[in-house]
Amino acid sequence: QVFTFNGVKIKVEPSDKVKNGAPMSIICHADISKNTDFQLKHNFTFFKNGKLVFMTVSDKEDARYEIPVAKSADTGDYECRVKAGDKLVISKPIYVWVAGMTKPILTADKKEVSEGEIVKLRCELPEEVPPLEFFFRKIKTNSEPIEKRVPEQNQNFSEMDYYVEAGDNILQFDCFGKRQVKSGWESSQHSNKTLVTVKEPFIKPTLITTPSNNITEGDIIEFECSTVAAQMRGIEIIFQKNRTILNSVRDKRFLKYSTLAIQEDSGEYLCKVEQGAVSKTTKLNVFVSELFPKPTLSASMTQLDENKDLILNCSINGLRRANFSILRKSSSGDILLKKSRILAIKVNVNDTGSYTCKAEVKGIVKESKPVRISVYAPVSKPTLSVVSGSPEVVLGKPLQLICHSVMGTPPITFTFYKGDEIKKNVTNDTYATFLDEDIGLNDNGGYKCDARNNHSSGVKTSNILNVTVIVPIKGASLGSVPYGEVEVGSDTAFLCSVKEGSWPIDFKFFKKTDHEVLLHEVREYSDRTIWHKKTMKRKDTGTYYCMASNRASVDVRSRPITISVILAAWQKGVIAAFVLTAMAGAGAVALWWFLRKKKKGNVPPLFVLG
């Protein structure tokens, strides 16, 4: 009994796309070849998405997996496996789509609620398999439904809490579901509509004014805000204009607020009633007509010299009878100067400041815009000096000047001059600085500054400041006479000079040893100096150098020179004579010794006198 599998195929009847609720069959066919006609048992196994769904054993080559009522949950990839003897063959998978989802069921935990309460909704797709997406819809009359999406990965139902807002009289809810298929997303039908009735804990407030119209400045305006509530406990009424709360009451049905009307009271008012999470608001626009315009304060002059006369005049366009007062503004409060429409004073610098006037008619007080009055004292003659203190500057370095006026009302404008050229204008309180970064050899004077303010006396000019330009030391060198070798006991002249540098110059002479030794120092109003060193000794042999500096505070060092102190000629002759005398004495002694030995016959045979 020999057999072999030619293949295994799977198909769906009536088709691989089945309508939800219709019957469908999954058919598996095994194509087998045999050497003789014998009976063969076949084990058929059906899988959906890799999970076992049906098994059967048959001696036929076909098997059917019947689904009488197809559900959307039956959508998936199907395959069958056929085993005969010890041989197993698996079919290629086929995708089956059960189109259409079951209609969801929506339930609400309450049929009647109050504003501010929560309604819990539950949407269920009984025959569907997660993952699913649920969509809840809140439907209000004459408005678009508000939709909320909730994904569910592990269950075929979802729950949602809805807050009932003020104004939600009659609410309807429904829901629908979605699932993902190979071709995209598939949606269910909408569920049944669930009706929820909403009760009002209190009605929208009423806001009225007395008088209701034709309100003019000076009138008493009264506001009344009221509501009707099922329970007054916890009721709060708040009355506000813009964001400012004007009055509030608790556990009461109404609120009253009154004020003396002014034009600034025009605007939008709000009456807000709150209880728990519920809030309702009524708005009312109020217009207050102007009784009289704001006064105007005029000044005879706004900038004037001290000891001059100033006249302030307060007036109202089209109105002559009012109670006027003139005030000066201050950080600690307004200072009343005079209860009158006119103020005349002789000013001093302390009168500088802001002034206003007020006018009162029928209890309504209005204030003018402030007028700034500036009183000036003349500037004193400025002084010009160098910030560092000394009226000098090193060539190539910046020079900072300061111009200062002891007296004078700020702001003061300072002008700096270099020669006749204006270099800088600065406006400050009492002083100003100027940095000159372009210092040349010929800049030895000619600086001055002007100071002026708004006083009529005009400009004051400082004295001319002469500044000395100091040239730094350059090119120090050292020489000596004699140069190189010097006889013991003789004098040596050391000459230290510089190529350039402002006088006076400090010269210093050093000898190099284990540490530098200062031998001589001197200040000269010259570019050179000579130091005479008397009676040179052998220990004066060594290396010498000089150093030069001036007020530029830069030490410049020369190249070193070497001095060798040697013996004088007469000292060499004395030494030579002493050596010759010593040699002659030694020869006489040797001759005497030789003659004595010869006389005795004891002359050494190898001794030769030479």
Domain ranges of the chain: 5-99, 105-199, 202-286, 296-375, 383-470, 474-566
Model confidence at 607: pLDDT above 50:
no
| The model scores a pTM over 0.75 | no
Q: Which helix (H) or strand (E) holds 583?
A: helix 569-600
Query: What single-letter amino acid sits at 577?
Result: A
Residues 277-304 as b or e (16 or more Cβ within 10 Å = b): ebebebebebebeebbebbebebeeeeb
Q: What is the band of 164 on the pLDDT scale with cuts at 50, 70, 90?
A: confident
CATH of 474-566, one of 2.60.40.10, 3.40.50.300, 3.40.50.2000, 3.10.105.10: 2.60.40.10
The number of CA neighbours under 13 Å toward the Cβ of 141 is 8
Q: Count Cβ atoms below 10 Å from residue 402 Cβ, excluding itself.
A: 16
Give the up-direction half-sphere exposure of residue 575: CA atoms within 13 A in the CB hemisphere: 6
What Rg do the C-alpha atoms of the chain give, in angstroms?
60
Quickly name the fold that domain 5-99 has. Answer: Immunoglobulin-like (2.60.40)
What are 300-342's pLDDT values in tens digits?
Answer: 999 999 999 999 999 998 777 899 999 999 988 899 999 999 9
| Residue pointed to by tokens 């309508």 | 19
Alpha carbon distance 260, 217 (integer Å)? 8
Quote the pLDDT of residue 392.
Answer: 83
Q: What's the pLDDT tens digit per position in 174-217?
A: 999 998 887 788 888 899 999 888 888 888 999 999 988 789 98
Give the span between the Cα atoms of 322 and 358, in whole angstroms.
9
Instruction: Write out the H or E segment, with its range, that includes residue 530.
Output: strand 528-533
Q: 605 — phi, psi (to 5°)?
A: -65, -30
- CA quadruple 74, 75, 79, 82: dihedral, nearest 10: 10
pLDDT tens for each residue of 273-300: 998 888 899 999 999 998 888 999 999 9
Q: What is the per-residue pLDDT across 15-29, written as a single tens digit (0 to 9) for each? A: 988 888 899 999 999
CA distances from 326 to 343, 344, 349, 430 (A): 7, 11, 19, 32
Burial 417-426 (b: 16+ CB within 10 A, else e): bbeeeebbee
202-286: what fold? Immunoglobulin-like (2.60.40)
Q: Please provide residue 247's backbone torsions phi and psi, each rounded to the nearest 5 degrees.
A: -165, 160
Widest CA span in the chain = 173
Task: Please name the amino acid found at residue 14.
Answer: P
pLDDT of residue 467: 86
Strands (E), 264-369: 267-275, 278-286, 288-289, 296-299, 303-305, 309-315, 323-328, 335-338, 342-346, 353-361, 364-367
Tell me what pLDDT residue 341 has: 93
**CA dihedral of residues 359, 360, 361, 363 (deg, nearest 10):** 160
Task: Confirm whether 296-375 and 474-566 share one CATH topology.
Answer: yes
* CATH architecture of the domain covering 383-470: Sandwich (2.60)
Give residue 74's Cα distance to chain centre: 60
Query: Residue range 117-135: average pLDDT?
Result: 91
Q: Which CATH class is domain 105-199?
A: mainly beta
The rounded percent of the chain whose pLDDT value lies above 70 is 92
To the nearest whole number, what is the mean pLDDT of the chain?
87
Q: Are strands 561-566 and 556-557 parallel, antiparallel or unpaired?
A: unpaired
pLDDT level of residue 267 (50, 70, 90 thresholds):
very high
3-state helix/strand/coil string of 236-267: EEEEEECCEEEEEEECCCEEEEEEECCHHHCE
Whether 608 has a pLDDT exceeding 50, the answer reads no
CATH class of the domain whose range is 296-375: mainly beta
SS3 350: helix
Q: Distance between CA 325 and CA 336 in Å, rounded?
A: 7
Residues 6+ away with beta carbon under 8 Å from 208: 223, 224, 284
Beta strands, E only, 2-117: 3-13, 17-19, 24-34, 42-48, 51-58, 62-67, 76-84, 87-90, 94-99, 105-108, 112-114
Question: Is 583 a residue whose pLDDT tops 70?
Answer: no
Tokens representing residue 295 in the block: 């006064």
SS3 577: helix
Q: Tell me the β-bridge partners of 27.
A: 11, 64
Q: Is the pLDDT reported for residue 601 higher than 60? A: no
What's the average model confidence in pLDDT over 220-235? Answer: 90
State the pLDDT at residue 591.
Answer: 61
